[in-house]
Amino acid sequence: MTQKYTILFDLDGTLVDTAPDLMNAHNYVMKKYGYPTKSTQEIRNLVGQGAGALIGRSIWGQAKKEFHSVEDKKIKDQMSKDFVNFYGKNIINESTLINGVKEFLKWCKEQGVSMAVCTNKQEHLAIDLLKKIGIYDYFEYVAGSNTFDYCKPDPRHITSIIEILGGDLKKSLMIGDSETDANAAKAASIPVILLENGYTEKNTNEIYHNHLIKDYIDVEKIISTYLKD
């Protein structure tokens, strides 16, 4: 049976404000390896691509730090592992749900909407966070950066989830907070609801979207227009 409607959600900055815990994990690793630490806002600007990119963009932004390319990769890989290990043990110390999330998820469930998470966070970390913060049971599927052989902005990250759910691309949309989400959704030809002040360096007017929201208060009104189609 084809789902009535499918909504895919990004996780970091979209469902949960994870920046404080990501910052703590990031700064733990940076201090360990002798690199400068970051503020919460700087972390928000770096998050979208996952742990490796988070560490990479922070380190390699320091132009004076130069290593041989092979050593670079080894150091970056080890730092990413240390980051994931520390973060996994401290995943919900300061992270909080985006305003109105739980009420919106409950409403969607009542409307028979099929929901899934499409994140560039590693799958086991995403599932652990969703369970600990109390919203895991609303979702029928969780796909992380390592679930498939590809991830956002590759549209297959989105289309594969919709296919697994038995959904229809013409009856699906993406809710995200960065160009990574928006570009994947655009390439998959599905609408995008974009959260303001997302985990990105770009301004909202630089990111493709069909609707712009501050949080999840009254987002039901937007979704209702799609459910009527």
- Tally the residues of the chain: 229
Q: Which listed CATH number (3.40.50.1000, 3.40.50.300, 3.60.15.10, 3.30.70.2970) goes with 6-18+95-227?
A: 3.40.50.1000
Whole-number pLDDT of residue 28: 93
pTM of the model: 0.86
Whole-number pLDDT of residue 1: 44
Q: Which long-range contacts link 35-44 to residues 24+ away (Cβ below 8 Å)?
A: 35/59, 35/62, 35/65, 36/62, 43/19, 44/13, 44/19, 44/197, 44/198, 44/199, 44/200
Q: Is 96 helix (H, G, I), strand (E, B) or coil?
A: strand
CA gap 171, 111 in Å, rounded: 14
Considering the candidates 10, 12, 17, 21, report the single residue annotated as catalytic: 10
Q: What is the pLDDT along the chain (229 residues), one digit of tens a residue?
A: 445 899 999 999 899 988 889 889 888 988 998 888 877 777 766 665 565 666 555 555 553 344 444 467 788 788 888 988 999 999 999 999 999 999 999 999 999 999 999 999 889 999 999 999 999 999 999 999 999 999 999 999 999 999 999 999 999 999 999 999 999 999 999 999 999 988 887 889 999 999 999 999 999 999 999 998 6
User: Is residue 128 annotated as a catalytic residue, yes or no?
Assistant: no
Q: Where in the chain are the domains? A: 6-18+95-227, 19-89
Q: Cis omega before residue 153 (within 30°)?
A: yes
Q: Decide: 17 and 182 in contact? Cβ < 8 Å.
A: no
CATH code of the domain occupying 19-89 = 1.10.150
HEC per residue, 188-201: CCCCEEEECCCCCC
Structure tokens at 172: 């699906």
Q: What is the pLDDT of residues 72-114, one digit of tens each?
A: 778 878 888 898 899 999 999 999 999 999 999 999 999 999 9
